[in-house]
Structure 1
Amino acid sequence: MIRIICLTEVGLQLARRLQHLLSETDTKSEVCFKPTPFIDSVQTYFKQQDSLVFICATGIVMRTLAPVIKDKYTDPAVLVLDEQGQFVIPLLSGHEGGANEFARQVSNLLENQLVITTANRYLNPIYVVGMGCERHCPEAVLQGLLDECLTTAGLTINDISAITSIDIKSDEVGLIALSKNLHKPYVTFDAETLGAMEERLSTKSDYIFKTVGVYGVAESAALYQAQQLTKNGSELLLNKQKNKQATCAIARSYSLS
């Protein structure tokens, strides 16, 4: 049994969302909102080998479970989520108990950031550039904006995995030439696909939405490709920057090696 334990109304909303997403993968779970008595209830779940997902501070979890923790070979998987659902941490039984893989599943469902701290697993950052531009924007203008963004983010072009945009820019000569000369894949996505990133944009442009069907091309494309490359959540490392003819953003995700 997977038990999703939460203590606040905000946490309850996230718990119900996660429960719904798990149900779509045929995974059964139960939401436990303010279980009473808290310590006894949680320790009982743990002892009966339930996988536990806490939506609260890690300190609360550790103080509650400390008396019943035995070893990584017999303890069940324990994950911790923040109330905003931005991060998931496999807290106990990462390898042997399957918490790392369970956390990866939860991270994929919530499209958030997976944070693994166990030994022998390393998080490697993956960076993706997203760009938008006016039709027939010169390559030199795109290159100049990209250079500025890389400098601001503390990166070089060697750190970048791909340059991305929306599919109506799949034939944009400047973007194609830029990617080719930098020896980077140029990847585009349709508006429906990029629309899934809407709630994670730093800003939303009604004008861009009316024009191409998404509220932001550069950020959406970078965020989507970053998570596609790692199968983990993604985040904006550099919010949309722009000049008179183009926009650029950089997203980051992490892969396990």
Structure 2
Amino acid sequence: MICAYLAFTDTGLALAKRLAAALPGSVARCGQDGTSLAEWTGVQFVQSDALIFVGAAGIAVRAIAPHCKSKTTDPAVVVVDECGRFAVPILSGHLGGANDLARTIAAVCGAVPVITTATDAHGIFAADEWAKHQNCIVLEPERIKLVSGKLLAGQPVYYWADIPVTGTAPAGLFPAEAPEKADLALTLCPTGQALHLVPRIGVLGIGCKRGTSAETLEAAFAAFCARHGLAVQAVTAAASIDLKQNEPGLLAFCQAHGWPVRFYTAAQLRSTPGQFTPSPFVQSVTGVDNVCERAAVLDAGGSLFYPKFACSGATFALACRPFAPDWRWQNG
């Protein structure tokens, strides 16, 4: 987590430096070295994962107000009084991690973490906080309130999980009979009206003909996702054979999605254990019988989830990194 501290006084600056020694981040004092409250906030709101204001909460609220957009993208914001008595998360408590950050800061300086989110106040399971701890993305953040509202009202929430979750489900959560009947679903392939939490564990293996354009790859990938009902957000990286490392279309396609792409030699791919879809033609061209499946599995260090899919001169396969979700939803 990239942290940025801003103090309003010299006393606050001393505390900010103390906190930064334990939780590293940049430290500034408002009014010194040309540091403007508005300019600092604007820059750090984009560059940092967490903003920690040491001083009055009202000043911090006014500073961040013009920049707040969405709970899915806003950074965590925590205010600590300059005496170090209270640590108050005021933005992105769950998805941004401000609640956890406030607890950590409190432990460093002996403060009281002042957590005001309703689920935390009542000790009730928070789906969005759980998603963050499990490395999942929340597909429909507007549905969080529906799940939380049911739990706060004492109503049952039914969940579905494609991947077994260890431990005991929190109070109020019960297994659903089918994905379509779930209020909450942990899945790579969302369906129905549940609040879908998608694990960020997928590696896309890619094979393609020379000169395949990014647009062709994009269309083929859309067909691959449609075939399986796969959420695009499940994919975090891509992999292929080193013969493709200078393919402009493949590189542009991966860059457009923000995926790091890694390339492996034919020997590395051949040594990948598992059962794969063989192709004599691919073997004759690349020196290995399958590129997309082997590359995905090798890079993921896990298992093949969806086998080879061919479309418009491109092939895709999906492998998943090891993933062992559990029902814990708070640190400590």
TM-score of the aligned structures, taking structure 1 as reference length: 0.48
Higher helix share: 1
Instruction: Pick the structure with greater CA Rg.
Output: 2
Higher RCO (C-alpha under 8 Å, 6+ residues apart): 1
